Structure 1
């Protein structure tokens, strides 16, 4: 049973609320610590600017350094309020004597710009006063509430409740705003991705994601659209493969039907003794043998093509002289060309062409191409084989000046059961020769193609020097 889970939007909202609470607790703890440290510093420092804490009988020993650090100074006044001793910043520019009115005016409620503190003391039996002055409001006297009443408590409670309500309203508004922004930036794109995956899972597709979002979600959109493209391509390839499979089965059935029918007909005649002439019986037996060889050739070629297209087929290319392979393969068919009256020109230089290839497969591919040239060209035609060494491999060309391949099959000449003539003939070969050649060349990491601009039929093969494993993609032209 599937457990009910929160949506991404709800999870992000909860996380935001938890984050806000944790941040508030951390802020409170930091503020409380800083406030305590401030109070400790103030409690340690402020007494050092109060006159009654600083008085000393020996004026020189009065600790005025803290007062001076706040930009202030101290003055010792005698009984006539004349300054007899001064220390600190600005002491030299301060008044040198005071009247009673001036001295008391320093402590009036209206004088809030400077801090003043005054304390009487005795030194050598005489009466003196110590005056502390700190200008520019660096230190101020404060009034503190040390005893509360019920009215004050109610007022403070109301202020606290109003503050909490304002905080709650501000927090809920920020939570709503965060939710809207989150939905726009995260949950809406993720919902689009979810709907897209659902369409693909149900066999749909075709529609791509179009949202604009942050970098990571844009990457997700890009990868999703690539995946959808590939799935669409895979589906198209699957349909095409199915069509090819059906066509292949129909072609196999067609190519087997006529020779099998011929074999059955002649075998039935011989079995029933309907033909008594020994010479005719031998002729029938020869036709049965020829048709059975055709069937065996078709089955063998089909088996060979299936093996080449299988990833499990052993493939072990070895370094060798590709020029020598072409030379010997062409030499094996030279007599056949001569007997049919077709000129065969071999254009291979004496210099070795070193490549990595599997000898039997590459020999089979070249033999198939040459056999096609032999089969589909009339007497008097010319066929040539040319090998050109290149810096990164080789270019092999097999061409002729014959009638060429008809336009309607040029694009599919390397597909199974496609022949160069317009009509399918059950005795014209298996139609798998060029398909096998294509599979062999691509297995070696090369390319094979029909030159569209050449007269007659010209097939080119491009091979590369590096060793190839069976899983490499064909190289670009």
Structure 2
């Protein structure tokens, strides 16, 4: 009979009173277990073997059998012959469908190359990987059970059980051997006949596919000549070509994502290090009493300014991550978009005027109903206005217009300032894309337009930087198109 952690959990009274020695021998004979308290102190082990092999650090990788979650581990071979593993943590949603809670990619040495599963871990040990697979050894499974004693103290029980009893395993082997004594000669005869009849034809049919596989592994160009492939194998060839195309696209996407992530980390480090270095230097000077009394206020103002810049960057990063979450939802309210845009601009009018800027607003005297998230939409317009205020000299005029056509509402935010250089234009909506002058001067976080684009897309619309502007007086023109009936 199969032994599992359920056979141990049945004796919850003994477990809850730490009376481990009272468990029946039929359970502990083939199924070993060890018990830890919450601090990692071992309270009991049923055998020396499990005492030596199971440590508390493995408990983080063992899922509680009562939780309902499980790991799914699949093995893959990359184009260059490297073995990789995909580990997914799964559960069922309220409808009974499988959902992936988190995942990670491992190379053949169990280094974590991507994903948010096992956050903070760079590499798994072989024991940890075996635990994730649910197999402590070839014939044993490992499970965890968390519970509380009658006194409210937390306990973690780890069991290592055979997949079947020794007697059952021996009977199965004996039964299988008896079957094979009769079946093996017949099976071998059939295999030999089939091999003689079809080996030559099959080998001839797949030689071209095999050549294509070797070419792909060596990264050479290749093309399968379908005229030399039997009709029965054409669908396989088509699927093979589709698979190779998908793998190429996936590889390019992976490489691009890796480069973008490294660049984002470098940009975050740079943009946080600069103000924090200033804060540290000025704070140290103040603490050591090296600042004249008349300059203390100036130093404190600079520290405050740099701390606000750092806080803005962190807040912007949080907003980016929050809006990327698949469960993020808009708080939609139907508004008269014309009146709402006027209200937002009116709130910023004094600021625009005090900075020496002019504003030209062209909004029709009509009602344009639209469902929007008012807070996010205000952030959207504010980011575009901030972009003009931060990167243009005083005297610049900001132009804001709103109109509608048959399908869309079109909002234009433009200015006649210095414009955006061509080398930045293509990547303007990517994170941390700013001019070098803007970065060195500490203006902005480099995330404003990234957040703006995400807000527009959450509303089912699109935003673009118009580089072929018919009005030569306008240097920077952002055009937002929102569907009248939001699909969000």
Please say whether Structure 1 and Structure 2 have the same fold, judged by a TM-score greater than 0.5.
yes
What displacement does 1:436 show?
0.7
Closer, same or farther: CA 425–229 of 1 in aligned 2, 3 Å? same
Shift >4 Å, 4+ stretches: 10-15, 186-200, 202-208, 213-217, 420-423
User: Where in structure 1 are there 5+ consecutive unaligned residues?
Assistant: 5-9, 16-174, 470-477
What displacement does 1:395 show?
1.4
1:229 to 225, 245, 249: 245
2:277 alignment counterpart: 261
Quote the Cα distance in structure 2 between the aligned partners of 1:237 and 1:324.
43
1:46 alignment counterpart: none
2:357 alignment counterpart: 342
What displacement does 1:291 show?
0.6
Q: Would you say the 8 A contact 1:406–1:421 is kept in 2?
A: no
What displacement does 1:289 show?
0.7
Q: Would you say the 8 A contact 1:302–1:432 is kept in 2?
A: yes
Q: Would you say the 8 A contact 2:388–2:398 is kept in 1?
A: yes
What displacement does 1:204 show?
6.2
1:18 alignment counterpart: none
Q: What is the alpha-carbon root mean square deviation over aligned residues?
A: 3.3
Closer, same or farther: CA 198–448 of 1 in aligned 2, 3 Å? same
Q: Would you say the 8 A contact 2:438–2:444 is kept in 1?
A: no
1:287 to 297, 302, 307: 302
1:135 alignment counterpart: none
What displacement does 1:261 show?
1.1
1:242 to 255, 258, 262: 258
What displacement does 1:223 show?
3.4
Which whole-Å deviations, capped at 9, do the CAs of 1:218-266 have from their partners, x for residues lacking one? Answer: 4443333233222211211111111111111111111112211110111
Closer, same or farther: CA 241–426 of 1 in aligned 2, 3 Å? farther
1:147 alignment counterpart: none
Quote the Cα distance in structure 2 between the aligned partners of 1:216 and 1:387.
60
Quote the Cα distance in structure 2 between the aligned partners of 1:243 and 1:291.
29
Quote the Cα distance in structure 2 between the aligned partners of 1:196 and 1:427.
53
After TM superposition, the structure 1 = structure 2 runs for residues 400-411 of structure 1, keeping only pairs within 5 Å, are 400-411=415-426
1:357 alignment counterpart: 372
Structure with the greater alpha carbon radius of gyration: 1
Quote the Cα distance in structure 1 between the aligned partners of 2:203 and 2:427.
49
Quote the Cα distance in structure 2 between the aligned partners of 1:218 and 1:240.
33
What displacement does 1:393 show?
1.9
Task: Specify the SS of the correspondent of 2:370.
Answer: strand
Task: Specify the SS of the correspondent of 2:482.
Answer: strand
Q: Would you say the 8 A contact 2:392–2:418 is kept in 1?
A: yes
User: Where in structure 2 are there 5+ consecutive unaligned residues?
Assistant: 1-137, 139-179, 185-189
Quote the Cα distance in structure 2 between the aligned partners of 1:222 and 1:359.
49
Task: Specify the SS of the correspondent of 2:485.
Answer: coil
- TM-score computed with the length of structure 2 as normaliser: 0.54
1:320 is the counterpart of 2:335: yes
- TM-score computed with the length of structure 1 as normaliser: 0.56
Task: Specify the SS of the correspondent of 2:439.
Answer: coil
After TM superposition, the structure 1 = structure 2 runs for residues 304-315 of structure 1, keeping only pairs within 5 Å, are 304-315=319-330
2:169 alignment counterpart: none
Closer, same or farther: CA 462–197 of 1 in aligned 2, 3 Å? farther
1:373 is the counterpart of 2:373: no
Quote the Cα distance in structure 2 between the aligned partners of 1:283 and 1:232.
56
2:311 alignment counterpart: 296
2:35 alignment counterpart: none
More helix by share: 1
Which whole-Å deviations, capped at 9, do the CAs of 1:408-436 have from their partners, x for residues lacking one? Answer: 21111111111146562252110110011
1:457 alignment counterpart: 476
Aligned residues: 297
Quote the Cα distance in structure 2 between the aligned partners of 1:426 and 1:194.
58
1:395 to 394, 398, 410: 410
Q: Would you say the 8 A contact 1:355–1:393 is kept in 2?
A: no
More strand by share: 2
After TM superposition, the structure 1 = structure 2 runs for residues 37-186 of structure 1, keeping only pairs within 5 Å, are 183=201
Quote the Cα distance in structure 2 between the aligned partners of 1:334 and 1:295.
26
Quote the Cα distance in structure 2 between the aligned partners of 1:444 and 1:215.
49
1:417 to 420, 432, 453: 432
What displacement does 1:444 show?
2.3
